[in-house]
Structure 1
Amino acid sequence: MPAAEAAPPMDEAQRRRARAAERQRAAAELKKARAAHRRGRVRQTRREESAREHRAAMLTMILTLGLLIAAVAVTGGMIAASMRTRPVTLAAPLHVYPVAQTTPGQCPTGTQGISAQAGTGPTCYHLNQGIAIRQVADLRVQRARGGNGYDVAVTLRTADRKAFAQLTRAMVGRDLAFVVRERLVTAPRVEMPINDGKVAITGPQTRADADRIIRELRGR
């Protein structure tokens, strides 16, 4: 069997060309690898930018939603506060008089008092100088304590609270007459001074009676 012929040795020029070709291949592969790396970095950068934009959009939406909720809450609170503080002007003043004494029967002509029906029959309530309330902060019907009958709950304005507090302090253990349109609504006994302006006009036995007092005060 004939022996394989050995490849002829490369001369110096061939070796230089081989080395050059090898460098070119290495450079091409390096360039290709760098290009792939750059493309990967571009894709990664784009993904990061997209994620940042998404987070920024979400944050903006959350902040906008929070501002809207806060604005609605503030506006609602302002409206509610305005409704609470807007005074109710009474069509007929609510007069509050200290009761000096009561006598059976109708009040004689010229008497500073008012006639009304009491448990013992017609009664004259002799009245001293009192106060007239023409505006209130709130006016509503509520169930009486114990659930028997109804009260007309009146919240006085700051301007009237001091005068009413002074009147109740002076009348502890005595009666006050609440009068609307020359009609005695109730004459409760003052158990303690009322300093907070929360007044309950007691007496109505039915919701209709309490609503009638509200209509008389509001004028509708």
Structure 2
Amino acid sequence: MENINELIKDLHLDTHLLLEDIPDIDLYMDQVIQLFEKKFAPTKRNEDEKILTKTMVNNYAKGRLFFPIKNKKYTKEHIMLISMIYQMKSVLSINDVKNSLQTLNNKLTDEEEFNLDALYENYLELAENNVARFLDDSTALSHKIFMELKDQENPDANYFQQLLLVASFANMSNLYRRAAEKIVDGMNEEQKKKD
């Protein structure tokens, strides 16, 4: 596939909700939704896709994916958690996301101070590293597929290259999802032992 670089550029992989994007004041739900819509608009698959809706946020709150809000306002910590939920929910079940964040939510509601900013910065740094690794892997994979099919006298060679890329990306996604689920299962077991 000759236009892998164009495809990667269209993904807007460098789009993350940074700490400096999050206001220091508490926000109402509409403001939170606007913040996410503005930041993640380039990542939409199509114009009809919604980044975040009131229903989604209400479901996260009812499902206890983040600690309770006060006075209908979301703190900076809530927004960081919603950002993490936004990324994880496309791969993991809502229950797995909840289980992953349970200990963190408990720490945020305990009497002691917990610095979520530092953890979130680590998360963003890992996300940047993941993008770099993805770019390298995607380019290498595309090149390998192109080299394997380039000598074939097939008018559908481009289609087969694209098909193999789709299958490979789906396979890699499945491998990472399964690994994440296994880690969540381990987290659940650890929590049960503590309880």
TM-score over 0.5 for the alignment? no
TM-score, scaled to structure 1: 0.20
Of Structure 1 and Structure 2, the greater helix share is in: 2
TM-score, scaled to structure 2: 0.22
Larger radius of gyration: 1
